[in-house]
């Protein structure tokens, strides 16, 4: 096992022999993808072929631990995901619930900043307050104005809405330059250190240039959507020459967690995989907003983001999605201080008083 990594699957099966047969089928599917009797002896059979390490009943289903060779993926992140769940994602009755990187941990060091790094950068004493710049269709001037109000109010991070990319109504370069300048102005005026994270999105072939431009413009971190661009984008951003913090957004990832019959556990998708890719903050929809995650699922995500034994540094869970200012105390009770609270549409209702609203919120959360 020392040169292998291991994946835990929750298998829906009637009996233990059925679950074991299913596990053996997964071990084939995720590696050689040929019938067992056609597997060539030697390296392919002894090393490449997935190995069922353990099958045990749990909560009306079965849990199987299957190990794979480092040779199957090398240091490639997309190929690691391919081995974990590529073809098996198309079979029902199967969910990925845990990943033990083993010696592969060297290739996937995780977040550059994480929970502690972001607290150092922002100086936050309580949870991080993260207003979202929106809506799509606003002019760069308008978005910069919102950013400035939020920074003056003492927001820890202003992040862009995931719907702002490089489209005609929000050209990346003009927008990012104006917002970065506005946040810098506010920071200078207040002696603050609000960070600004633009959304790195557009034509995939342009993303590297967009990130370069943003860095030159003075941004403090990046937002990325692994569901639309692959987890490789998160890794690329985390591995830049001078890394900045990376926040991930759940857009297009819903189907991986919404079915009990396929996909990943909530903790695995919005905790483990984000840490694996190098995210510092993982955004997910909080319980009670417009999305249907339960309190238990959200707690599992927060735990997976912050567990010391997870991949690399502990990272910040970023609950959002329909949050309002008056839910802040409730959220703090649920998540504690090591979290980033996203504030979206409800903040816009405050209009020119957005900054005051954030200042009040911050005062309350720093108590």
What pairing do the DSSP bridges indicate for beta strands 316-320 and 281-285? parallel
Which of 317, 329, 362, 326 is closest to 346 using CA atoms?
326
- Residues linked to residue 62 through DSSP beta bridges, in sequence order: 11, 57
Contact window for a second copy (CB under 8 A) among 116-124, 143-151, 223-231, 296-304: 223-231
Contact window for a second copy (CB under 8 A) among 16-24, 71-79, 114-122, 150-158: 71-79
Q: Binding of a second copy at residue 295 (CB under 8 A)?
A: no
Q: Binding of a second copy at residue 251 (CB under 8 A)?
A: yes
Q: How far is the CB of 336 from a second copy (least distance, A)?
A: 24
Q: Binding of a second copy at residue 152 (CB under 8 A)?
A: no
The residue from 38, 59, 191, 367 that contacts a second copy (CB under 8 A) is: 38
CA angle 367, 365, 187 (to 5 degrees): 110
Annotate each residue in 14-33 with x if it binds a second copy (CB under 8 A) or - if it does not, as one string: -----------x---x-xxx
H-run or E-run covering 66: strand 61-69
Q: Binding of a second copy at residue 161 (CB under 8 A)?
A: yes
Q: Which residue has the tokens 């941990």?
A: 105
Q: Binding of a second copy at residue 76 (CB under 8 A)?
A: yes
H-run or E-run covering 133: strand 128-133
Q: How far is the CB of 356 from a second copy (least distance, A)?
A: 17
The residue from 110, 285, 288, 312 that contacts a second copy (CB under 8 A) is: 285
CA gap 80, 74 in Å, rounded? 8
User: How many residues of this chain interact with a second copy, rule: CB under 8 A?
Assistant: 86
Contact window for a second copy (CB under 8 A) among 55-63, 119-127, 201-209, 300-308: 201-209
The residue from 79, 125, 209, 294 that contacts a second copy (CB under 8 A) is: 79
Q: Which residue's CB is nearer to a second copy, number 33 or number 59?
A: 33
**C-alpha torsion angle, residues 67, 76, 311, 205 (rounded to 10):** -150
CA gap 170, 365 in Å, rounded? 33
Q: Binding of a second copy at residue 254 (CB under 8 A)?
A: yes
- Residues linked to residue 51 through DSSP beta bridges, in sequence order: 67
| Cβ-contact 244, 221 below 8 angstroms | yes
Q: Which residue's CB is nearer to a second copy, number 120 or number 261?
A: 261
Q: Both tokens of residue 165?
A: 């990319």
Contact window for a second copy (CB under 8 A) among 121-129, 145-153, 259-267, 300-308: 259-267
């Amino acid at each position: 096992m020392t040169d292998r990594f291991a994946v835990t699957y929750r298998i829906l099966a009637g009996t233990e022999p059925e679950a074991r047969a299913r596990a053996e089928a997964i071990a084939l599917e995720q590696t050689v993808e040929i019938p067992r009797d056609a597997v060539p002896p030697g390296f392919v059979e002894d090393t490449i072929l997935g190995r069922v390490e353990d099958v045990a009943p749990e909560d009306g289903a079965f849990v199987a631990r299957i190990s794979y060779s480092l040779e199957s993926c090398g240091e490639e992140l997309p190929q690691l995901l391919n081995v974990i769940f590529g073809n098996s994602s198309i079979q029902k009755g199967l969910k990925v619930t845990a990943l033990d990187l083993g010696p592969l941990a060297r290739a996937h060091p995780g977040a550059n900043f994480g929970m502690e790094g972001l607290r150092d950068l922002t100086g936050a004493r309580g949870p991080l307050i993260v207003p979202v710049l929106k809506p799509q269709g606003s002019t760069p001037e308008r978005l910069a104005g919102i950013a400035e109000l939020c920074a003056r109010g003492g927001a820890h991070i202003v992040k862009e809405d995931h719907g702002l990319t490089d489209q005609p109504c929000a050209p990346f370069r003009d927008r990012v330059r104006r917002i970065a300048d506005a946040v810098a102005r506010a920071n200078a005026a207040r002696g603050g250190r609000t960070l600004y994270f633009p959304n790195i999105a557009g034509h995939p072939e342009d993303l590297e240039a967009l990130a370069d431009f943003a860095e030159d413009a003075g941004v403090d971190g990046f937002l990325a959507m692994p569901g639309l661009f692959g987890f490789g984008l998160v890794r690329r951003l985390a591995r830049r020459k001078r890394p900045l913090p990376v926040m991930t957004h759940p857009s297009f990832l819903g189907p991986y967690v919404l079915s009990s019959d396929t996909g990943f556990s909530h903790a695995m998708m919005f905790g483990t995989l984000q840490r694996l890719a190098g995210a510092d903050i993982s955004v997910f929809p909080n319980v009670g907003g417009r999305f249907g995650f339960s309190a238990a699922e959200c707690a599992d995500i927060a735990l997976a983001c912050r567990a010391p034994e997870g991949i690399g540094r502990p990272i910040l869970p970023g609950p959002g999605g329909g949050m309002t200012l008056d839910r802040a105390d409730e959220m703090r009770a649920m998540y504690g201080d090591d979290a980033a609270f996203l504030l979206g549409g409800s903040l816009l209702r405050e209009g020119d008083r957005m900054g005051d609203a954030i200042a009040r919120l911050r005062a309350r959360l720093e108590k």
